[in-house]
Amino acid sequence: MFQRLLMRGTTFRNRVLMSPMCMYAAEDGFPDRWHLAHYGARAAGGVGGIIVEATAVSPEGRITPGDLGIWNEAQVKAHGNLVDVIERDGAVAGIQLSHAGRRSGRTLPWNGNRYIAGEEWGPRISASALAYSEASPVPHGLKENEIRAVIGEFAAAARRAAMAGYRLVELHFAHGYLLHQFISPLTNHRSDGYGVEEGVHTRLPVEIVEVVRDAVGPEIIVSVRLSVVDWIEGGLRLEHSVRLSAALKSAGADIIDVSSGALVPGEKISPEPGYHAPFARAIREETGVATAVVGLVTEPRQAQAHLDAGDADLILLGRALLRDPYWVAREFENAENKGDLFPLPYRRALAGMKTRRVW
Ligand SMILES: Cc1cc2nc3c(=O)[nH]c(=O)nc-3n(C[C@H](O)[C@H](O)[C@H](O)COP(=O)(O)O)c2cc1C
């Protein structure tokens, strides 16, 4: 867990990264002082890197009005401040780029998660004109020329992310958002060149990874988060995602961040600790791409076991790090290989904590 990882010239000081988690605390997509404190705390708490929450490539692509965005140059400066705070304490700054597709334009979770009227939000887009549920609006199925525009938005957002100083760009192709809507046969009923072939659609995700790799150059790490199974009859299965992962790797992706589900109502899954690990391991072994595993990792020994078993190269923590920004720090205090892996202010504080009298 405390072994460094070198990737494209960037060193992670350890293998534990903060998983992207929407905080719905932004206005007009800008990270502000609250985001600096929130992410700064996790960087100071010792994580190897942070993947900043789903950040929209266009205003209409936000899940809610509280999402972060990176669709204009003014936002780049604000993201630059966030990168500074994260990297000053030795964590690698990463960002997740996202378009919510048919799931966009909802009120904040604590305000009911309801779809905002189309006149107020703008058109919702998807692979096909299929609603998420009976209570959801029917999205506009993208025409081929409109798909080009979406590809352009991802490329521009990735270029801005690089300008802001992020060293890792993660593409959010999971959890029922726009790209997952293209990838899965449950939501992509197209019969043109952007349709499903042999159980999975690969063309658009591959094209986006190609333009993103072009936009960020060879030095930035590109990760892709996939929902590798849909947990429902007729949906994606692991074999499809192995094929997709291989194609994404060839297109320029460095990491497949392995998650699952959230595409359609009614999926059959009750998550257990480490439930994505076998998928991550299969993708890692069969394609040779690096993987990240996420989902109910709460204890250091679990993280270590996934690394030892070869399930993944990186462990992503979500809720455990919301509860405790110092999750890594606590473990480090007990670990033997102390060194420069840890932020200096905390090392000094630790030295002080070992004396009985601290005042
Ligand atoms: C509050 C909250 C917000 C989330 N937002 C995102 C997000 O922006 N992007 C994403 O890919 N996953 C998101 N997730 C999923 C997490 O990244 C993670 O995959 C999931 O919580 C499982 O990991 P855990 O058991 O360690 O929390 C979110 C989860 C939570 C709890």
| 85 touches ligand 1 (CB under 6 Å) | no
Residue 223: its pLDDT value, please? 99
Residue 75: its pLDDT value, please? 98
Q: Which two tokens stand for residue 252?
A: 């320029």
Q: From first to last of the 359 residues of the chain, give the pLDDT tens digit.
A: 989 999 999 999 999 999 999 999 999 999 999 999 999 999 999 999 999 999 999 999 999 999 999 999 999 999 999 999 999 999 999 999 999 999 999 999 999 999 999 999 999 999 999 999 999 999 999 999 999 999 999 999 999 999 999 999 999 999 999 999 999 999 999 999 999 999 999 999 999 999 999 999 999 999 999 999 999 999 999 999 999 999 999 999 999 999 999 999 999 999 999 999 999 999 999 999 999 999 999 999 999 999 999 999 999 999 999 999 999 988 776 665 555 556 666 666 666 666 655 45
Distance CA 295, CA 288 (A): 22
**Ligand 1 pocket mutation, candidates 16, 18, 22, 297, criterion most atoms within 8 A of CB:** 22
Tell me which H or E stretch contains 337: none
Q: Residue 129: which residues within 8 A CB-CB, separation 6 or more?
A: 138, 139, 140, 141
107, burial (CB in 10 Å: exposed 0-12, middle 13-18, buried 19+): middle
Q: How far apart, in Å, are the Cα atoms of 21 and each of 25, 38, 54, 238?
A: 11, 11, 7, 24
Residue 329: its pLDDT value, please? 83
| 126 touches ligand 1 (CB under 6 Å) | no
| 223 touches ligand 1 (CB under 6 Å) | no
Q: Which of 115, 132, 166, 177 is catalytic?
A: 177
Strand, coil or helix: what is 343? coil
Active site residue 177: yes
Asked if 77 and 117 touch (Cβ cutoff 8 Å), the reply is no
Residue 330: its pLDDT value, please? 80
Distance CA 284, CA 258 (A): 10
Residue 203: its pLDDT value, please? 98
Domains of the chain: 5-353 (3.20.20.70)
Q: How far apart, in Å, are the Cα atoms of 45 and each of 107, 130, 235, 323?
A: 32, 43, 39, 12
Distance CA 129, CA 127 (A): 7
Residue 358: its pLDDT value, please? 47
| 94 touches ligand 1 (CB under 6 Å) | no
Query: Which residue has its alpha carbon closest to ligand 1 atom 2?
Result: 21
| 63 touches ligand 1 (CB under 6 Å) | no
- Compute the mean pLDDT over every residue in the chain, rounded to the nearest whole number: 94
* pLDDT per residue as tens digits for the range 116-155: 999 999 999 999 999 999 999 999 999 999 999 999 999 9
Q: What is the dihedral of CA 144, 146, 151, 154, to 10 degrees?
A: -160
Residue 331: its pLDDT value, please? 79
Distance CA 110, CA 163 (A): 33
